[in-house]
A and B are shown apart, each in its own frame.
Chain A
Amino acid sequence: MTSTDSAAPAAAGKTHGNEFLYFASRNTKLVIGTVVFVLFLLAAIFGPMLAAYQPMTFDAPPGLPPSAEHWFGTTLFGQDVFSQFVHGLRSSFIVGALGGITAAAIGMFVGFFAGYRGGLVDEVLNMLTNVVLVIPTFAVLLVVAAYLSVRGLGTEALFIGLTSWPWAARAIRAQTFSLTSRDFVDMARLNGEGTFRIIFGQIAPNMSSYLVMTFILLFGGAILTAAMLDFIGLGPTDGISLGLMMNYSVMNAALQLGMWWWFVPPGLAITGIVGSLYVMNVGLDEVFNPKLRAL
């Protein structure tokens, strides 16, 4: 991969704090994305405290449509959908954060070293990346999850993190590669600084905006993957998540029974969260990269 696709945001490091805030607050995409994201985040944090019912208890009449009492209606078994929804949001954010962090850590490690050291290190890490890239990771997740009969959010996030880093590693590698030949890196090298110090002292800060954006995408990707896993019944075995809600509602034919309120909200929420992350990402890109602000 050449650096064509990722050259633009590299210049971002020089943006000053005030300038950043100024442009950030004037960027509609970033503002809208952030507002939507924060709304969901607040719902995830405070929603469970607001919910009048427990998510998994059967204390309401089954199959009620949305009402003042049950904002999102009830499930076929008389569970409160709103309560499941806000608890599910919470799990989705946890999986997204943990999975995103794991993937970003691996992706950064591989990308930095491959890009900075080059040569054999690059070749080996590259091959590793390629292997993870070609193995159908989603299908591997299926196999692994199928045999772990007690699963928690943590294991799910870990698996997702371990398999979703390759594209990030590639992108970071390309960035690092282009920064490695810059003067300030040469200077540091002449000063006798070690690989670690150069990477984290010189290279990483100079592409911090890029890293932030990469993390945002990984975060969204982890939420989506978790939803898919949960959806086919391979998610956490206890508790509730947005994907599990979809799984239960499909397993119990909610749509065929006319109970759309059980199936639609979790999917919409995932679309909303992930979509807001993507929009934020583009907004950030425009803020970091003055050339794109023309619009």
Chain B
Amino acid sequence: MLRYLARKLFIYLLTFIVAVTIDWAIPRFMPGNPVDALVSRIAMMPDANAALTSYFMAAFNLDQPLWQQYFNFWKALFNGDLGRSIMLFPTPVTTLIGRALPYTLGLLLPSILLSWYVGNMVGALAARRKILDNTVLPLGYLLTATPYMWLGILLAWLLGSVLGWFPLAFGYDQALKAEWTWRFFGSLVFHWVLPFASLFLVALGGWAIGMRNMIIYELESDYANYLQALGAPARLVRKYAFRNAMLPQITGLALQLGAVVGGALATEIVFSYPGLGWLVLSGIQNQDYFVIQGVFLFIIVGVLLANLIVDIVYVVVDPRTRVGLQGDAA
């Protein structure tokens, strides 16, 4: 068990290093130079250009050789320093992420967990119940096949513009100061509903279908037939089937995380919701290396951690994994 965990950790560490290296490299292999963009935003005489460009190049350490920049990056990372934003110079990237992260987490965690939970429940109920199966299933397929942003905009238009029930955009009411009152809190929740709903609905369908199919597999498996033959009550059989069906759904959760994060970024853009998606989009538009790599780093760490947790949970809940560990390391 310990050896297994140690090996897992080692692999995760390696994955982390490779992923972070790619993360660092991606913006740097793009054509163009972020400082040019920064300098061109300052209206000035052309001859001052060179001086200012070299000043900023030095300020961002972009004048150093690449290997040195890479080394600096790791060194700073261990000090919890993600560098300074180029587009919002001289704000540290950690400040920007700190500002945006709560919004993204507030969207992501509830929508992932709730959709997983509700989806599994609905899927389990639907399995082998003809009426439910014939209504829930098609709906689930439609939801999971819907483009996030299209659904988001449609929701915003129907519930926001036409009916006026929910706000169209932003993280909170622009008439309020960001303060710690019930009113502000209510406004936060109010603005959270639509982006949450569009993420939740799309993910919900996928989980429901997955669960439904899994349970059917389980109910048709040998042990279930055996139990039934022994005269075990249907409830008991279903309970066992449900438990076994949960395992792949947990793995699925980990596998889906990356995609869900992508969906959340897209949803934030639709709703002008000030989370990481919004931040990384403006980072990309402004060629802000440090913001791009900082946000990606957060996502990488988040997804890796979630995978690790799922792996450990898996070992705990499924005794078979503990036995057959040596051959199967995924």
A232 contacts chain B at the CB level, 8 A cutoff: yes
B153 contacts chain A at the CB level, 8 A cutoff: yes
B46 contacts chain A at the CB level, 8 A cutoff: no
Residues in A whose Cβ lies below 8 Å from that of B247: 2, 4-5
B22 contacts chain A at the CB level, 8 A cutoff: yes
A139 contacts chain B at the CB level, 8 A cutoff: yes
Compute how far the CA of A170 lies from the CA of B256 in the bound complex, rounded to whole angstroms: 13
Categorize the interface residue count of chain A: 35 or more
A173 contacts chain B at the CB level, 8 A cutoff: yes
B203 contacts chain A at the CB level, 8 A cutoff: no
Compute how far the CA of A244 lies from the CA of B221 in the bound complex, rounded to whole angstroms: 46
Are A1 and B147 in contact (CB-based, < 8 A)?
A: no
Categorize the interface residue count of chain B: 35 or more
Query: Given that A134-B300, A136-B258, A136-B296 are contacting pairs, would A227 and B147 also be in contact in the complex, using a CB cutoff of 8 Å?
Result: yes
Chain B: which residue is nearest A294 at the CB level? B220
Give the distance to chain A from B314, nearest Cβ to Cβ, in Å.
9
Are B19 and A135 in contact (CB-based, < 8 A)?
A: yes
Are B22 and A131 in contact (CB-based, < 8 A)?
A: yes
Are B258 and A170 in contact (CB-based, < 8 A)?
A: no
Give the distance to chain A from B108, nearest Cβ to Cβ, in Å.
12
Give the distance to chain B from A278, nearest Cβ to Cβ, in Å.
5
Are A130 and B15 in contact (CB-based, < 8 A)?
A: yes
CB within 8 Å of A: which B66-92 residues? none
A137 contacts chain B at the CB level, 8 A cutoff: yes
Give the distance to chain B from A129, nearest Cβ to Cβ, in Å.
8
Residues in B whose Cβ lies below 8 Å from that of A291: 217, 220-221
Residues in B whose Cβ lies below 8 Å from that of A292: 216-217, 220
Which of B25-33, B35-43, B53-61, B184-192 forms part of the interface with chain A?
B25-33
Residues in B whose Cβ lies below 8 Å from that of A134: 15, 19, 258, 299-300, 303-304, 307
Chain B: which residue is nearest A226 at the CB level? B147
Are A137 and B145 in contact (CB-based, < 8 A)?
A: no
Residues in B whose Cβ lies below 8 Å from that of A138: 258-259, 261-263, 265-266
Compute how far the CA of A285 lies from the CA of B141 in the bound complex, rounded to whole angstroms: 15
Are B147 and A267 in contact (CB-based, < 8 A)?
A: yes
Residues in B whose Cβ lies below 8 Å from that of A285: 213
A256 contacts chain B at the CB level, 8 A cutoff: yes
A113 contacts chain B at the CB level, 8 A cutoff: no
Query: Given that A143-B292, A146-B285, A267-B147 are contacting pairs, would A136 and B299 also be in contact in the complex, using a CB cutoff of 8 Å?
Result: yes
A263 contacts chain B at the CB level, 8 A cutoff: yes
Are A2 and B320 in contact (CB-based, < 8 A)?
A: yes
Are B269 and A232 in contact (CB-based, < 8 A)?
A: yes
Residues in A whose Cβ lies below 8 Å from that of B261: 136, 138-139
- Interface bits A231-265 vs B (CB < 8 Å: 1, else 0): 11000000000010010001000011000000110
Residues in B whose Cβ lies below 8 Å from that of A267: 146-147, 150-151, 154
Are B18 and A142 in contact (CB-based, < 8 A)?
A: no
Which of B111-119, B229-237, B322-330 forms part of the interface with chain A?
B322-330
Compute how far the CA of A278 lies from the CA of B251 in the bound complex, rounded to whole angstroms: 20
Compute how far the CA of A291 lies from the CA of B327 in the bound complex, rounded to whole angstroms: 29
B14 contacts chain A at the CB level, 8 A cutoff: yes
Chain A: which residue is nearest B301 at the CB level? A134
Which of A47-55, A76-84, A99-107, A268-276 forms part of the interface with chain B?
A268-276
Are A270 and B31 in contact (CB-based, < 8 A)?
A: no
Which of A60-68, A118-126, A182-190 forms part of the interface with chain B?
A118-126
Are B330 and A126 in contact (CB-based, < 8 A)?
A: yes
Residues in B whose Cβ lies below 8 Å from that of A146: 30, 284-285
Contacting residue for A126 out of B220, B248, B327, B329, CB 8 A: B329
Query: Given that A146-B285, A255-B161, A263-B153 are contacting pairs, would A135 and B147 also be in contact in the complex, using a CB cutoff of 8 Å?
Result: no
Query: Given that A126-B329, A136-B299, A278-B141 are contacting pairs, would A170 and B147 also be in contact in the complex, using a CB cutoff of 8 Å?
Result: no
Chain B: which residue is nearest A6 at the CB level? B248
- Can you report 11 A-B residue pairs in the complex whose CB atoms are below 8 A from each other? A2-B318, A8-B217, A133-B255, A136-B303, A138-B265, A139-B299, A146-B30, A270-B147, A275-B144, A279-B141, A292-B220
Given contact pairs A139-B261, A142-B265, a sample of 18 additional A-B residue pairs in the complex whose CB atoms are under 8 Å apart: A2-B247, A2-B324, A127-B11, A133-B255, A133-B303, A134-B15, A138-B262, A139-B265, A140-B26, A140-B296, A142-B280, A167-B255, A170-B255, A220-B145, A231-B266, A267-B146, A278-B141, A291-B217
- The 9 A-B pairs of least Cβ separation, nearest first, read A138-B262, A5-B248, A274-B145, A267-B150, A275-B145, A291-B220, A136-B299, A255-B157, A134-B303
Interface residues of A, Cβ cutoff 8 Å to B? 1-2, 4-5, 7-8, 118, 122-123, 126-127, 130-131, 133-140, 142-144, 146-147, 166-167, 170, 173-174, 177, 220, 224, 227-228, 231-232, 243, 246, 250, 255-256, 263-264, 266-267, 270-275, 277-279, 282, 285, 291-292, 294-295
Interface residues of B, Cβ cutoff 8 Å to A? 11, 14-15, 18-19, 22-23, 26-27, 30-32, 128, 130, 133, 137-138, 141-142, 144-151, 153-154, 157, 161, 209, 213-214, 216-217, 220-221, 244, 247-248, 251-252, 255, 258-259, 261-263, 265-266, 269, 280-281, 284-285, 292, 295-296, 299-300, 303-304, 307, 318, 320-321, 324, 327-330
